[in-house]
Amino acid sequence: MALMITSDCTACDACEPVCPNEAIKAGDPIYVIDALKCTECVGAEDEPQCKLVCPPECIVQNPDFVESEEELMEKYHQLHG
C-alpha cells in the first residue's frame, strides 16, 4: 500500500530528501506522494523513512493503493532496475 500525506502537512521538507524512490514532491500547499513510485521503502529500508522524519506525523496509508509486500518489492525493482 502506498503512503499519502494528510492536510496536517506543514511543508517542512523533511520527507522529500529521504525518499529512495523520489516519490515525494512539493505540492500546493502540501507535499504529495506519487503512489506509482511509493514502495513504503520496501527494497531500500526496513521501514518508511518519510514517516520517521515527519514532525507532524501526517504520513499515513493510502487506502486507494492496496499492495502486498511482494508487489511493493516488484515496484521497487521496476523503478531501480
Tens-place pLDDT, residues 22-52:
999 999 999 999 999 999 999 999 999 999 9
pTM exceeding the 0.85 threshold for the entire prediction: yes
pLDDT score of 1 more than 90:
no
Instruction: Tell whether the torsion through CA atoms of 7, 12, 39 and 37 is positive or negative.
Output: positive
Instruction: Assign domain 3-80 to a CATH class.
Output: alpha beta
